[in-house]
Amino acid sequence: MRIKLFFLNFIYPPVPTENGVAKLAPCGTRKIEAALLEHFKENEVAVVPPDKIEKFITKETKVVGITSNDPLGLGPASTTFSGSKGFIKEEPYNAWKFRELIEKLKRYDVKIVVGGAGAWQLDDAEVRRKLGIDVVVIGEGEKVVPELFEKIIRGEEVPEVVHGEIVEPEEIPIIKGATIGGIVEIARGCGRGCEFCLPTMRRLRSRPLEHILKEVEVNVRSGNKFITFHSEDVLRYKAEGIRINRRAIVELFESTMKIAESAGFSHFTLTSVASSPETVADISDIVGVPNKKHRWLAGQTGIETGSVRLIEEYMPGKVKPFKPEEWPDIVEQAFGICEDNSWVPCATLIVGFPKETEEDILKTVELIDRLKQYKSLIVPLFFVPIGRLEGEKGFSVDDMRSYHWELMLSCWNHNMHWLKQLAEDYLAKMPRVSRKFIMKFIDWIINKASSRVVEYMEELGGSGYIISK
């Protein structure tokens, strides 16, 4: 319970509120709010945190919508580190808090509608009925949710599963309230076609610059001085197919820096970095990193594997404009470009592809060894059967073999090597006393907890498991 309280209060504390209304909310929630406000009056729509929701439910309340990225804890991160398939056999926090909220709402005479990136987990009718969910919206909701809510309010019958429609970039509504992390959506979709991923199946659509800047202004007025651009790849904003549109990206960042204090991004791809290093340099120059407040820019990116065979099998579009056989070299080249321009890749790997072999994993271990000189984090995640691989078997800790443990240990050693420096950089702007306290905790992780984790991996590997150090 102490660990849970620590996470809930320090790792992801409740968002600030004003008269119970959320001052910050997930970007997806803000999009649906904006869409609803085109059909309903302002006093008929409220965005509130889960712990304040009882104060807003009255006899007039007909619908409660919930945004969730991982309602059942079935996403890659949750299944890797928790739950029945993960390292720690406890219910994921996402699933626990989602169930807690649903149980709270079931006490009221309201329809419960769930959407968000994790809505696919609620496609099963038995799961919805067991939880008490009335409707789930899968996919983009801005076009379908207002009409859905209107029908519910009128007492009409509605389907239990509603599939969203693709929203053209000019039609994506402009948010009315600030987002958590100052997130501003600049594009949707990807189009690279990786078989294990949902966004890559959708075509890339870039939003008009003037719409983006309006959302930047909304966030800055609410106190978000740092803007985080969100897309599957920040470098493909207004791209011409795979080719980077350097001019559009420069204009995006330069225009934003006239409004906000600084800006960064949520995701980027290594092939885009390698194909246009000058654009990477442009972004760093425009936002002025490194500086006293921001030593680097960090974003999520996908290595996924060091195996050319798996690249060809599941994600050949990921490497364009390069060839699959170039992938390991492209990854290292991109990491070097990031290092030169004060970018920190927070990279993911996928463990347990359906046709994966020991050789595939060892190729990934070799690639990680090549990357140890570059400031970064590398996180292995278990394969989850979604996208075109929906019918395949997922991966779990019980499926791991000696070579999987070797991969895990390689990632752990890489991250422990860089953790202290990354923490020192990130905490540099904090007060000295707070910084000293947190760094003591980081030192404990590196010096004490790390050795226990290594022992834990070796113990789970069991006799006959060979783990390189």
115 and 255, same structural domain?
no
Length of the chain in terms of residues written: 469
227 and 149, same structural domain?
no
Computed over every residue of the chain, the mean pLDDT equals 92
Cα angle for residues 32, 36, 39 (degrees, 5° grid): 155
b/e sequence 226-254, b meaning 16+ C-beta within 10 Å: bbbbbbbbbbbbbbeebebbeebbeebbe
**pLDDT per residue as tens digits for the range 33-60:** 999 999 999 999 999 999 889 889 999 9
Cα(120)–Cα(38) distance, rounded to whole angstroms? Answer: 26
- 442 — pLDDT class (breaks 50, 70, 90): confident
- Left if phi > 0, otherwise alpha if psi is -120 to 50, otherwise beta: which for 401? beta
Map tokens 């999987």 to a residue: 404
pLDDT at position 464 over 50: no
Please give the pLDDT value at position 469: 37
Cα(36)–Cα(148) distance, rounded to whole angstroms? Answer: 10
144 and 227, same structural domain?
no
DSSP string, 373-391: TS--EEEEEE----GGGTT
292 and 143, same structural domain?
no
Q: State the pTM of this model.
A: 0.92
Q: Where in the sequence is the domain holding 108, given as residue range(s)?
A: 13-163
327 and 191, same structural domain?
yes
- 3 — pLDDT class (breaks 50, 70, 90): low
In a domain, 279, yes or no: yes
324 and 262, same structural domain?
yes
Please give the pLDDT value at position 76: 94
- Nearest CA to 305 out of 331, 339, 281, 274 is that of 331
Q: What is the 3-state secondary structure (H, E, C) of 311-372?
A: HHHHCHHHHCCCCHHHHHHHHHHHHHHHHHCCEEEEEEEEECCCCCCHHHHHHHHHHHHHCC
Output the six-digit token pair for 362: 């060892």
Of 395, 414, 429, the residue that ends a domain is 395
Residue 140: which CATH number? 3.40.50.280
Residue 382: which CATH number? 3.80.30.20
Reduced to 3 states (helix: H, G, I; strand: E, B; else coil), residue 297 is: strand
Please give the pLDDT value at position 465: 43
In a domain, 436, yes or no: no
In a domain, 412, yes or no: no
Please give the pLDDT value at position 4: 62
- 450 — pLDDT class (breaks 50, 70, 90): confident
pLDDT at position 128 over 70: yes
**pLDDT per residue as tens digits for the range 160-174:** 999 999 999 999 999
- 269 — pLDDT class (breaks 50, 70, 90): very high
261 and 138, same structural domain?
no
Greater confidence (28 vs 453) lies with 28
**pLDDT per residue as tens digits for the range 404-428:** 999 999 999 999 999 989 988 888 7
213 and 107, same structural domain?
no
Average pLDDT over every residue of 216-224: 97
- 7 — pLDDT class (breaks 50, 70, 90): low
Q: What are phi and psi of 225, to 5 degrees?
A: -80, -20
pLDDT at position 9 over 70: no
pLDDT at position 120 over 90: yes
Cα(250)–Cα(87) distance, rounded to whole angstroms? Answer: 43
Of 163, 198, 225, the residue that ends a domain is 163
In a domain, 420, yes or no: no
184 and 157, same structural domain?
no
- 179 — pLDDT class (breaks 50, 70, 90): very high
Question: Residue 230: beta bridge partners?
Answer: 185
